[in-house]
Amino acid sequence: MNNPNDRQYSNGEITVFWKPAKCIHATTCFRELLDVYNPRKRPWVNMQGATTERIIEVTDKCPTQAIYWKYNKDLSEAEKAGNQSHDPDNEVNPEVLHQEKQPLRPKTTIRIMPDGPLLLEGDFQLTGEDGKEIKTMVMTSVCRCGNTLSPPFCDGTHRKTGFKD
C-alpha cells in the first residue's frame, strides 16, 4: 500500500521516490545536493538541479532509503502513472511535515532520536571549538553513536552498529 504522502519525481531518465514515513532527517540529501533536494522549496525535489549520475550518487547515501531511485525503463505501470499525476497544490516537504507535528517552539529544538542522532532544527549556528561556523542550516542531524564516517553528522551508521540509548 502506498502512503498518500509518498512522492515521486522524474527527469525523464530516472525517477526518485520519496517515502516521508521512512525519513529520519539524516539530512544527507540536502547537505550534499541542495540544488536537487531543497526542503525550503515546493516541490522540494528538483530533478533538473544536477546530472543523473550526481542524483544517483547522493540518493544512494540516504541511510533509510526514504529516497531511492529507479531507471524509468524499469518502472512498473503503476510507477509510470505516478510520474504523470503531480498536483502542485498537494506538495509536501520534510520541513512542512515536521512543522505540522510541532507548532510553537523556542528558537531551536533538539530532538534525541531513539537509538539515533541528535536532530537540530531552528535558528542555530553549528560551530567548531574555535567558534568558527561550520555550516548554516535550518535542520541537521549530529551523530550520537560515535561511529559516523562523516563527523559530526549522522550518516546512518548507528543502524549497522546497533547503537542503543
Q: Which residues bind other proteins (CB under 8 A)?
A: 105-114, 118, 120, 122-129, 131, 134, 142-148, 151-152, 163, 165
Nearer to other proteins, 20 or 49 (CB): 20
Minimum distance, C-beta of residue 26 to other proteins, in the bound complex (Å): 15
Task: Give dist(CA 153, CA 140) in Å, integer.
Answer: 8
Nearer to other proteins, 11 or 140 (CB): 140
In angstroms, what is the minimal distance from the CB of 138 to other proteins? 11
Which residue type occupies 69? Answer: W
From the CB of 99, what's the least distance to other proteins, in Å? Answer: 15
Please name which of 143, 149, 105, 112 lies closest in space to residue 26, comparing C-alpha atoms. Answer: 143
Query: Cα separations (Å) of 11 from 74, 76, 77, 114, 132?
Result: 14, 17, 17, 36, 38
Report the residue number, 86 or 135, with the smaller CB distance to other proteins: 135
DSSP track, 20-69:
GGG-----HHHHH-TTTB-TTSSSSB-TTSS-HHHHHHHHTT-TT-SEEE
Least separation in angstroms between CB 61 and other proteins: 18
User: Of 62 and 143, which CB lies nearer to other proteins in the complex structure?
Assistant: 143
